[in-house]
Chain A
Amino acid sequence: DTGVSQDPRHKITKRGQNVTFRCDPISEHNRLYWYRQTLGQGPEFLTYFQNEAQLEKSRLLSDRFSAERPKGSFSTLEIQRTEQGDSAMYLCASSFRRPGTGAEETQYFGPGTRLLVL
């Protein structure tokens, strides 16, 4: 079990540029989550997938943000026309959810991608 991996670990970009981050979940995990964390705060939920389906999106996820998980394995998060306020740590987490409601589910986080927009 190699854990959740994220690439790149760090990204510096200029305002207005597009950036894309990748997350590889723990193998056989069917759920994948994206969170954003700013300095001094806890992670805040952005969106999540169950297999290929994007099941929930936060209001934090503006039109400039898009996430995909085309084959139900890795996921990408793209930010278009970056703004300085997008500077944050972007965290990915994965979990396995057994069918049926109320099933226990534990989310494991990757190391994050730290984005700095100049």
Chain B
Amino acid sequence: GQQLNQSPQSMFIQEGEDVSMNCTSSSIFNTWLWYKQEPGEGPVLLIALYKAGELTSNGRLTAQFGITRKDSFLNISASIPSDVGIYFCAGQVRAGANSKLTFGKGITLSVRP
């Protein structure tokens, strides 16, 4: 099935560094969401974006909805060890009955103390 493009598969950073993750699609989405998943758990919502060009922050996290509606990025500032996990982007068409989420493969983030 269709998936959003997230790369690289893994990222390794030093505690205190900023990190940016990008997500791209060949299709337009009307909603972009970023989730974090830890081993054995379900995805936890970090940020939801509903308008093209929107820039939204949640603590040390900032995410933007691309103008073309085909991409989004997530930035984490001043990383800490508990930021470790898998970060997924998800897109939603949000038209009529079509409200399923389409996910990327995720980026595994490791933070070195």
A contact residues vs B (CB 8 Å cutoff): 4, 6, 31, 33, 35, 40-45, 48, 55-56, 58-60, 91, 93, 95, 97, 101-112, 114
Q: Report whether over half of chain A's contact residues are helix, strand or loop; otherwise say mixed.
A: loop
Q: Are B100 and A48 in contact (CB under 8 A)?
A: yes
* B29 contact set on A, CB distance < 8 A: none
* B42 contact set on A, CB distance < 8 A: 4, 6, 91, 93, 109-112
Q: Are B43 and A109 in contact (CB under 8 A)?
A: yes
Number of A-B contacts (CB under 8 A): 78
Bound Cα distance A44, B3 (Å)? 9
Q: Are B105 and A60 in contact (CB under 8 A)?
A: no
B50 to A: closest C-beta gap in Å: 5
A24 to B: closest C-beta gap in Å: 13
Q: Are A44 and B1 in contact (CB under 8 A)?
A: yes
Q: Is B73 an interface residue (CB 8 A)?
A: no
